[in-house]
A and B are shown apart, each in its own frame.
Chain A
Amino acid sequence: GENVEQHPSTLSVQEGDSAVIKCTYSDSASNYFPWYKQELGKRPQLIIDIRSNVGEKKDQRIAVTLNKTAKHFSLHITETQPEDSAVYFCAPGDTGNQFYFGTGTSLTVIP
């Protein structure tokens, strides 16, 4: 199965700074690269995703970049706010295969 690693496991930033979380994967067949956000006590929810034919996607303050050659993709959050504090999961997958979730990154935004 897919080997998924996320770094860092914890991240603290000052409000207004940027945060970057990296996800590396092993299966070269992966073609779908989502990021999920899980607030404390809540369910994971998709915040942004990208497919293998696109190198970058942006949605307001969040963006995802993909490097298929190196088999990693990253979540970028700019102008962080306290409500960005949560655990973030990557879950690369491909057609006919499972979602393999990373172990998560706990982001704390300090006001």
Chain B
Amino acid sequence: NAGVTQTPKFQVLKTGQSMTLQCAQDMNHEYMSWYRQDPGMGLRLIHYSVGAGITDQGEVPNGYNVSRSTTEDFPLRLLSAAPSQTSVYFCASSRARGNTEAFFGQGTRLTVV
């Protein structure tokens, strides 16, 4: 049982490039989400999904897209990378929305130069 698997672990992008951060979970969780973590600002919600085919915006969605074609996968796309998107990104899943334990992936440290 792998839990939440997130790739890559590190990435350097040039301004304007695009990329996809992968996230997969094998716990059959309905709820999945993406956070970014910046120093002193905690974990801020980017996008979330309550099930396959359903996604919605969080606190800081600009510059990011998501899709949820299967229960297991929830990729995050950076459309045109900007230095302000330099951050650590975490994918998380939970059995339900808001009132059960969240399981996190290992994180992706992204640097945009």
Contact = CB atoms under 8 A, between A and B. Distances in A.
B2 interface: no
Given A9-B40, A49-B101, A89-B42, 4 more contacts: A44-B102, A96-B97, A98-B33, A99-B98
Interface residues of B, number: 24
A43 interface: yes
A45 interface: yes
B45 interface: yes
Interface stretch (A12-20, A57-65, A68-76, A100-108): A100-108
Contacts of A103: 40-42
A43 B108 CA distance: 10
Contacts of A34: 101-102
Given A43-B90, A93-B98, A98 B104 contact: no
- Which 9 pairs between the two chains have the least Cβ-Cβ distance? A93-B98, A32-B99, A43-B104, A103-B42, A101-B43, A97-B98, A46-B101, A101-B42, A95-B99
Interface of B: 33, 35, 40-45, 48, 58-59, 90, 94, 96-102, 104-107
Interface of A: 1, 9, 31-32, 34, 36, 42-46, 49, 51, 89, 91, 93-104
Contacts of A1: 59
Contacts of A94: 98-99
B96 A98 contact: no
B4 to A, nearest CB: 8
A50 B94 CA distance: 16
